[in-house]
């Protein structure tokens, strides 16, 4: 059986939706890619800064609250001070972190699916990987990459030409970090 890997690659940081006090409504907020660090003698606070897309009002997502400065890794602290890109992505692409900060919705960023296409006449073990665990529907990924209509996709499921390991409902299951699908023509 042919083995193929697809990788979901995101093109931007995730935006969030939450209430904006100044706009008086739910607004879209973009990540500024900057941290704010407030260090006092015994307590350290770190936030990741977002801005309302309508009025530019700042909203701070709390990363650390009143922790002891000694309890944080110096390399990480330096990363917060210098707005290290990998560190920004670690938080801005973590929907659990954003929901814990009280956002109403985390937007799934635009993405591409890297990897080889294949024919449905081939027997393929397909691994789908994603660097960030956004809840993208597996059905959307497969339909988009293999250019299938929804009816064609459902037909594959009904005929058991496609299944997941472990078995999940492929009509509605969502990708986490990775997943394996098996395509069998007969």
CB of 93 to Zn ion, least distance (A): 23
CB of 51 to Zn ion, least distance (A): 9
Smallest CA-to-CA distance from 31 within 77, 83, 78 is with: 83
CB of 19 to Zn ion, least distance (A): 9
Which segment (42-50, 51-59, 72-80, 146-154) binds Zn ion by CB under 5 A? Answer: 51-59
Interface with Zn ion (CB under 5 A), residue from 27, 51, 95, 101: 27
Cis peptide before 65, with omega less than 30 degrees from 0? no
Interface with Zn ion (CB under 5 A), residue from 8, 20, 88, 98: 20
Going 7 to 8 to 10 to 15, the CA torsion angle's sign is negative
The smaller minimum CB distance to Zn ion, of residues 18 and 145, is found at 18
Q: What is the dihedral of CA 137, 179, 129, 47, to 10 degrees?
A: 70
Smallest CA-to-CA distance from 181 within 14, 13, 3 is with: 3
Residues near Zn ion (CB under 5 A): 20, 22-23, 27, 52, 54-55, 57
């Amino acid at each position: 059986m042919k083995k193929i890997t697809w990788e979901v690659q995101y093109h931007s940081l995730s935006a969030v939706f939450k209430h904006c006090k100044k706009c008086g409504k739910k607004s879209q907020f973009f990540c500024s890619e900057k941290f704010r660090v407030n260090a006092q003698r015994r307590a350290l606070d770190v936030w990741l800064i977002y801005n309302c897309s309508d009025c530019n009002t700042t909203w701070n997502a709390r990363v650390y609250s009143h922790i002891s400065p000694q309890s944080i890794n110096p390399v990480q602290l330096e990363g917060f001070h210098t707005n290290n890109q990998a560190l920004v992505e670690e938080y801005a692409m973590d929907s659990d972190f954003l929901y814990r900060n009280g956002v109403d919705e985390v937007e799934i960023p635009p993405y591409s699916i890297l990897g080889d296409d294949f024919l449905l006449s081939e027997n393929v073990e397909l691994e789908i990987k994603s660097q960030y665990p956004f809840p993208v529907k597996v059905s959307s990924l497969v339909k988009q990459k293999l250019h299938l209509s929804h009816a064609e996709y459902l037909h594959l499921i009904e005929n058991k030409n496609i299944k997941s390991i472990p078995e999940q409902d492929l009509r509605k299951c969502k990708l986490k970090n990775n997943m394996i699908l098996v395509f069998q023509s007969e």
